[in-house]
Structure 1
Amino acid sequence: MKTTNKEIRSHCAVNYGVEIFGDRWSLLIIRDIVFTGKKTYGEFMKSEEGIATNVLASRLAFLEQQGVLARAPSPDDGRKDLYTLTEKGLDLIPVMLNIVLWSAKHDSKSYVLHRKEWVDRLSQNPVEVSEEVKALVRNGGCMFPDGKQ
């Protein structure tokens, strides 16, 4: 995926979303930030899906260019950059949570099934849970700091 300004194919709302965050890797990067609190290139590389380094670099640059991610030097180690969700990126949290609900319903091996209480609460109060998760991530937190979704 090029990280230069590309033209949006149409102004259909579904198409815009697909072009910005609809590829597999972009959603997994966002997932890693929201659910497990990953913030650095090295942390993203450790995800179980095994993203290639060139693909990760391209997706991070694209998401930053699109205003979904912000990048800043780590205050602890200037050689590392920290990636966080912008307000535009935080607005993807309800999308991610709906994907979680869909997967919990249709994937009998989904990791999230180990968090039945949380899934039940999400399905009963999706707006409330989405706002809580947005606030948590906005303040530097994540859903599952133990790293297990």
Structure 2
Amino acid sequence: MPQRSSCPISNVLDLVGDKWSLLVLRDLIFFGKSTYSELQTSDERMATNILSSRLEQLERDGLISKRADANDKRRKVYALTQAGKDMLPLLLEMIVWSSKYAPDTNLPKQLLNRLKNDREKVISELMEKMAD
């Protein structure tokens, strides 16, 4: 995707500046979802055409990869690339921000407490988990 400007914030927004892309990354990172049908079961109930479009865009932008499932070649499995995994700190910061300014949402309290005590350790552990 061509960049609209040389601003780093604009660059990130060009990649994931819509609600749905971040939610796909959230589901891959935090909930271990990896197939189209699993991603469709998210609480937000993304329309099928939007989900397909976002998966294609995230793959083109190098944030996820797609391969055939080893057990069922008709089914595709989505995985985070390193660039996608590197979105983890950004998503964690969004959770922290939400805890401060939208505290009535479904916040992962245990994760928030751990982030307050040792953010780098949490990031390291989640990155390790994604490497498995």
> TM range, normalised to the smaller chain?
over 0.9
Q: Secondary structure at the match of 1:125?
A: helix
The 4+ residue runs of structure 1 with deviation greater than 3 A are none
- Per-residue deviation at 1:129? 0.9
- Per-residue deviation at 1:25? 0.3
TM norm structure 1: 0.84
Match among 113, 118, 134 for residue 127 of structure 2: 134
CA offsets 1:101-147 (integer angstroms, 9 cap, x no match): 111222222222xx4332111122222211211111121xxxxxxxx
> Following the alignment from structure 1 to structure 2, what is the Cα–Cα distance between the partners of residues 97 and 109?
17
2:77 corresponds to which letter in structure 1?
Answer: L
Match among 103, 108, 116 for residue 109 of structure 2: 116
Instruction: Let me know the Cα RMSD of the aligned residues.
Output: 1.2
Aligned to 1:61: 56
- Which structure has the higher relative contact order (CA within 8 Å, separation 6+)? 1
- Residues 97-108 of structure 1: matches in 2 within 5 Å? 97-108=92-103
**Structure 2 residue runs without a partner (length 5+):** none
- Paired positions, count: 132
CA offsets 1:40-93 (integer angstroms, 9 cap, x no match): 111111111111111111110110011100111111211111111000001000
Q: Percent identity?
A: 35
**Structure 1 residue runs without a partner (length 5+):** 1-5, 140-149
